[in-house]
Amino acid sequence: MPKPLVLILCTGNSCRSHMAEAILRQAAGDLVEVQSAGSNPTGQVHPMAIQVMQEIGIDISAHRSKHMNEFLDRRPVHTVITVCDNAAESCPLFPGQMARHHWPFPDPAHAPGSEQERLTAFRNVRDQIQALFHAYAAGLNDQPNIKNQPSYSVEPR
């Protein structure tokens, strides 16, 4: 039986969703398959996202920016997690979707300031994502058989 698919969406699929994808993949281990996509992908993974993830020992340099439509015709998406308000507004219902969470984070790609200030913004968002997705993964680990149970859901604000 395939692992439940968790799809993490943001608008550009260039930083927040990739950081969340990699953090959840590492934290959840073998419980779920994790992918990310965007409603309007930029076509690249932001270099600063790659850099701040390497700082915590996670390599996302091989990730690619994908459109969420790539997942409409795939096997069922168990859970959709939106990490920005724009993606939440444009998110379709995916076949087989059992849960949807909306956990918005500021977009560090639009942070003003010097390179160091922008890196600080990326680190802050990474740390927020890491705290939330580690807690989410811990909840998955507490479910005795995630593959046969629906996920719990948090209502969008």
Q: Which active-site residues does the annotation give? A: 10, 84, 91
List of E strands, the chain: 5-10, 33-38, 79-82, 99-102
Angle between helices 115-142 and 16-28 (to 10 degrees): 40
Show Cβ contacts of residue 106 under 8 Å, excluding neighbours closer than 6 positions: 121, 125
Whether the CB-CB separation of 116 and 52 falls below 8 Å is answered with no
Furthest-apart CA atoms within the chain: distance in Å:
49
Classify burial at 29, counting beta carbons within 10 Å of its beta carbon; exposed 0-12, middle 13-18, buried 19 or more: exposed
Give me the helices (H) in 29-58, please.
47-54
